Amino acid sequence: MRLPIIILSLCWSLTAQLTDAGARALQPGATLGGELSVISTRPSILSGLIGYYPATEGSGATLDDYSGQGNNATFASSPNNPTWESGGGIQFSASTNQWINLPSVINSAGRTYMAVVCEPTLDQINTGTGMNWTYSSLISSTSTSGLALGFYAGSPTYSIAVYMPTIGIATGGSTNHATQSADYTGGCAVITWVIGTSGDSTTDHVAINGIESSSYTVGPGTSGAGMGNGTLQIGGAGWVSGIGFAGTLASLWVWNKPLSMSSTNSGQQSEVLSAALMARRDAEARGVIFHPQFGNNIGDHVICLGDSLTYGSASSNPPTTGFCSTTNMSSLVNSPALKNLGNPGGVMMDFGARGLYEGAYYLSRNGRNTAFVWGCTNDSSYGYNYSAAACWKYTEGLLIRLRAEAVKTIVITMISATGRDTAKDNLNPLINAGWSQVADGEANFASDPNYGADGAYSNATYFNSDHIHLTNLGYSQVAAYAQNSYNYLWGATQQNPTSISTTYSLTAADGWSVFSTNGLTATLPNCLGYGAGYQWHTRTSTAGTDTLKTATSSQTIDGTDYSSSGLTLASNTANAFAVVSGAVASGGCTWTQVQ
């Protein structure tokens, strides 16, 4: 007995027009949408394909199979029929249980080895405190002992559902989940379920965009015993009322054999990844957009992505007194809307999809969007044991994806935590050296010795008794550093600098300034919390010299204390001073003149 695989393409808010790219049987070497060069290099991924449903008919009660096997699917009767969309795809209602029946061969034990490609962007909003853990079936059986392929919805932290792929077997009308992924997904993505069977001692597998889940919160188990029982449906609630799918079906692919999750010894990519690329290119050629859809928001918006430190755990009222709160960041430039999306227990590997797609709902269609990213605290512990390099790689990936959607990003350095200071000391140099290539800013919390020095976690003034999370005072202080980084990003510019006409203390928003008259004195801001390499530019007056001081005696400029006497700046010159981060084990910062 072999592994069943199903691939299902879904998009809950499919706005692009789809064109018919599937009006013929699929053969090795075919070029669906003219884009599938992958087929010529991996023809094996078409072997065993017993169902390909591009959902381009536009009308009727039949979902045609273009695999050449004739395994057409049929709609349910009214009022349980989903609706064809004018540009392509099939819309399933959120309020009415709607489904399409797959033929028995697709559900036959020993023959239906299924992989599913889907693009979940679930906008099912809960007006309370957030979505509870909820099972949603995308493909499920009518039998109480049948197969169920679907998702578990987001956690109570969120008010928008983001989903983790899962495979389950129903027994007696309740769900016994054999496998549940730990990776979140959203937007338009390619999801693959591989169903294990006891006959050949295989286990379930789940992949997002062709990459297997990093870990499983349940399993991986074996779900093959559920195959062949009852009628397999797309979209319907199946054996449990009220957990059907709501959204638009873009395409469905079904194989009768296992596609490998592993690359070959020669370095060739896995069959699942090849199939996922094929399915994605096919869908893109028909207009499916693999990008997150922003919410219907106006004005400037800020989201904060991270783990329990971002969420604000261990403070008296986490959503209010964590760093990402209007209480602690009350002076952001232009007063953007602020949303805390911290995920207690989260790791950076999981943030990539969840953070991007869930966060998009809270961002603006016409304003300035900014994301804070603070993670890696959990990645070196709790059995994950990711290296600093691996965690930075995942962080870079998320930052790059956010910037690709025109979201400005500010990455935050790791602070001290019990048992994790070595991880901090290995990670932060990577952030300090690399943030400017992948992000728009850095909030260097670790430059403050109260938070970044080795062993700082033992200070009860700033750290909670768990020696990981912060006290209310601690959260408020690091929030000031985050706010400074944001205001620097959106503050004065070279084209619109701050004008200095009197003795003045430069702020985060004064990255560019001009002395309007001679003999003036300005003081650089306290450099703690600013990213490595942050620069303050100032042009002196044309009539005479001006003076620049530092905030403290320890924050020297190229080794000299200018906190009292100040540094004399020649008239009519452009000057620039950059932040130099201190040693990662001790924190601190100084300045260097770079112009």
Domains of the chain plus CATH, in order, are: 5-285 (2.60.120), 301-487 (3.40.50.1110), 498-593 (2.60.120)
Label residue 221 by pLDDT band (50, 70, 90).
Answer: confident
Please choose, from the candidates 278, 236, 285, the residue with its C-alpha nearest in 3D space to the C-alpha of residue 73.
236
Q: How many CA atoms lie within 13 A of 308 on its CB side?
A: 15
More confident residue, 423 or 278: 423
pLDDT of 165 reads 63
| Distance from C-alpha of 440 to C-alpha of 302, rounded to nearest angstrom | 14
Q: Is the pLDDT of residue 516 over 50?
A: yes
Let me know how long the chain is.
595
pLDDT of 1 reads 36
More confident residue, 96 or 424: 424
pLDDT of 38 reads 40
Q: Is the pLDDT of residue 197 over 80?
A: yes
For a pLDDT cut of 70, what percent of the chain falls above it?
74
Label residue 172 by pLDDT band (50, 70, 90).
Answer: very low
More confident residue, 13 or 67: 67
Mean pLDDT of 280-291: 75
Which range is least confidently modeled, 251-265, 300-314, 395-409?
Answer: 251-265
Report in angstroms the alpha-carbon separations of 441 from 102, 390, 432, 537, 588: 50, 21, 10, 16, 18
DSSP 446-473: GGSHHHHSTTGGG-TTTB-TTSSSBPHH
pLDDT of 413 reads 96
Mean pLDDT of 23-44: 40
* Maximum mean pLDDT: which of 11-20, 30-39, 336-345, 520-529: 520-529
Q: Decide if 182 contacts 347 (C-beta within 8 A).
A: no
Q: How does pLDDT run across 326-346, given as a tens digit for each residue?
A: 999 999 999 999 998 887 777
pLDDT of 395 reads 87
* Strand, coil or helix: 593: strand
pLDDT of 504 reads 94
Q: Decide if 341 contacts 307 (C-beta within 8 A).
A: no
**Token reading at 560:** 């000299």
Label residue 269 by pLDDT band (50, 70, 90).
Answer: confident
Q: What is the pTM of this model?
A: 0.66
Mean pLDDT of 271-297: 77
Label residue 429 by pLDDT band (50, 70, 90).
Answer: very high
Q: Is the pLDDT of residue 218 over 80?
A: no
The chain-wide mean pLDDT, for the chain, equals 78
Q: Is 577 left (phi over 0), alpha (psi -120 to 50) or beta?
A: beta
Q: Is the pLDDT of residue 351 over 80?
A: no
Mean pLDDT of 392-404: 84
Q: Is the pLDDT of residue 110 over 60?
A: no
Q: Is the pLDDT of residue 459 over 90?
A: yes
More confident residue, 587 or 238: 587
